[in-house]
Amino acid sequence: MQDRFIKCIAELPKPLSDALVPMLNAEFAGHIDAQQLSTLITKSGLAESELLIALLPVAAALARPPISEFYVGAIAKGKSGDIYMGANMELSGEALFHSVHAEQSAISHAWLSGERQIEDVIVNFSPCGHCRQFMNELVEGQKVKIHLPEQQTQPLSHYLPYAFGPTDLNITEPLLTKQQHELSLDSSDPMIIEALDHASLSYAPYTNSYAAVVLETKDGATYCGRYAENAAFNPSMLPMQMALSTMARHNREFSEISRAALIESAGGKISLVGATMDALHAVAAVELEHIVLDPE
């Protein structure tokens, strides 16, 4: 079991901890599939809603909050039945806009894993306005059920009434809808090819600035992030922040980064290169490989 889970496991009911510990191996990064979830329900004796709340300390153990020292965990349950954990992340000494909120982390985890719809979000503290707006970008976002400890489950519409979202800007395919943008590049570099694939799946309906980041560690592992825009603009999630959040979930240190690449479309209204370089240089002494593609 990973060291970061030792404290939270000790606080769980024993039937749940006994069933969960074998899952928390070196490869665990917060994903529990529907079959594993069913096993945990059976062995713990808890109802699903009780189990998901009980698992929040495990999600919070994924957090890296060196500024606030406030650990927030979130779980996104997909229509597939799988659950995806996420946690807040901050960059030490850097501007707060680099931060990733737990709900963003969990939802991006689901998106990167191929999930097409989020039905439930479980979080250990009430979602802030930023996260409510981010969740409102999702497929049927107003219907997403929000679960909080010791509170009645409510749809997002309860927490974000009179919402402004994608439909107000005539967007009919919201976040998590299958995206496929035509981007091409002649390269045999596996890392660049991976970045290209993720850029083509990114969500940028307001600027058409399709983009992705891939980070490679010294052992050859790669961690990616895609751009996820928001109708309210500021809650957009940058691909670099998503890639760093992915690394954190996998228990990797940012100092292990040996390569970093940003691919973005020249046809967009903005460029993410400045914000991407700022975040990268805050965590690793690596130069950013920046590739700008002409749209098809």
Tell me the pLDDT tens digit for each residue of 227-280: 999 999 999 999 999 999 999 999 999 999 999 999 999 999 999 999 999 999
pLDDT over threshold 70, residue 100: yes
Q: In what order do the strands lie in the sheet with 145-147?
A: 31-32, 83-87, 73-78, 118-123, 145-147, 154-155
Q: What is the CA radius of gyration of the chain?
A: 19
The pLDDT assigned to 295 comes to 63
Domain membership of residue 177 (yes or no) is: no
Q: Is 142 helix (H, G, I), strand (E, B) or coil?
A: helix
Q: How far apart are CA 78 and CA 116, in angstroms?
A: 7
Answer whether residue 296 shows pLDDT above 80.
Answer: no
208 is in an annotated binding site: no
Where a domain ends, among 138, 169, 200? 169
Closest to 107 in 3D by CA, of 206, 264, 228, 279: 228
Mean pLDDT score, 8-14: 94
Considering the domain architecture, whether residues 149 and 22 belong to the same structural domain is answered as yes
pLDDT reading at 136 higher than 90: yes
pLDDT confidence of residue 186: 87
Assigned domain for 161 exists:
yes
3-state helix, strand, coil in the chain (%, to 5): 35, 20, 45
β strands within 16-167, DSSP E: 31-32, 73-78, 83-87, 118-123, 145-147, 154-155
Q: Is 131 assigned a ligand-binding role in the annotation?
A: yes
**With bands split at pLDDT 50, 70 and 90, how would you rate the model's confidence at 185?**
confident
Residue with tokens 């395919």: 173
CA distance 71 to 177: 30
Does residue 176 belong to any structural domain of this protein? no
- The pLDDT mean for the chain works out to 96
Query: Residue 271: CA atoms inside 13 Å, Cβ hemisphere, count?
Result: 10
Q: Are residues 164 and 194 located together in one domain of the fold? A: no
Task: Domain of residue 281: give its range.
Answer: 190-293
Residue 123 sits at φ, ψ, to 5 deg, of -145, 150
179: pLDDT strictly greater than 90: no
Q: How many structural domains is the chain composed of? A: 2
Active site residues: 103
How far is Cα 271 from Cα 2, in angstroms, rounded to an integer?
A: 38
> In a 3-state reduction of DSSP, which class is residue 215?
strand
Q: What is the pLDDT of residue 191?
A: 96
128 is in an annotated binding site: yes
Is 135 part of any known ligand binding site? no
The answer to whether residue 218 is domain-embedded is: yes
For the segment 129-157, the average pLDDT, to the nearest whole number, is 97
CATH code for position 234: 3.40.140.10
Residues 19 and 131 occupy one common structural domain: yes
90 is in an annotated binding site: yes
Verify that 233 and 134 share a domain, yes or no: no
Give me 123's structure tokens: 């979080």
List the beta bridge partners of residue 138.
Answer: 175
Beta bridge partners, 213, equal 225, 262
Within-domain flag for 152: yes
Closest residue by Cα to residue 246 from 260, 264, 231, 230: 260
Has residue 182 been placed in a domain?
no
Q: Torsion angle of alpha carbons 114, 115, 121, 122, nearest 10°?
A: -60
88 marked as part of a ligand binding site: yes
In-domain check, residue 247: yes
Question: Per DSSP, which regions of the chain are E strands?
Answer: 31-32, 73-78, 83-87, 118-123, 145-147, 154-155, 211-217, 222-226, 257-265, 288-293
Within a domain: 174? no
User: Which residue, of 169, 199, 227, is where some domain finishes?
Assistant: 169
- Same domain for 162 and 283, yes or no, is no
> Is residue 237 domain-shared with residue 142, that is, in the same domain?
no
159 & 214 share domain: no
